[in-house]
């Protein structure tokens, strides 16, 4: 017997938000539905991460992930000058 996932209906979503989500999905090679599902999964997982104790939550936050900021940070990362002691 196959197991079906739960369904969710979002009402009163602005057209602008739907367009932004569609653009984000296209950039990631996903359907709009798959992108929204990934966002919701990530948000639900983030709640679990908040329940972790220090330093576990810090390590979870620093792990590379599929987010928008990681490529930007990698691109603009510069080595620090050596310290003079």
CATH code of the domain in which 52 resides: 1.10.1220
Helices 15-27 and 32-50, packing angle to 10 deg: 90
Domain count, the chain: 1
Answer whether 0.75 is exceeded by the pTM.
Answer: no
In a domain, 1, yes or no: no
Residue 59 lies in a domain: yes
Boundaries of domain holding 57:
15-76
Q: What sign does the CA torsion over 28, 34, 39, 44 have? A: negative
- 30 in any annotated domain: yes
Residue 31 in any domain: the answer is yes
Q: What is the pLDDT of residues 36-68, one digit of tens each?
A: 999 998 888 776 655 656 676 666 666 665 566
Instruction: Band the pLDDT of 69: cuts 50, 70, 90.
Output: low
Domain assignment present for residue 85? The answer is no
């Amino acid at each position: 017997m196959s197991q079906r996932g739960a369904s969710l209906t979002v009402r009163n979503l602005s057209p602008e938000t739907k367009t932004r989500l569609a653009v984000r999905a296209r950039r990631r090679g996903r359907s709009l539905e798959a992108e929204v599902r990934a966002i919701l999964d990530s948000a639900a997982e983030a709640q679990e991460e908040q329940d972790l104790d220090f330093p576990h939550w810090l390590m979870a936050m620093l792990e590379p992930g599929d987010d928008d900021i990681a490529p930007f940070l990698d691109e603009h990362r510069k080595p620090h000058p050596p310290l003079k002691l």
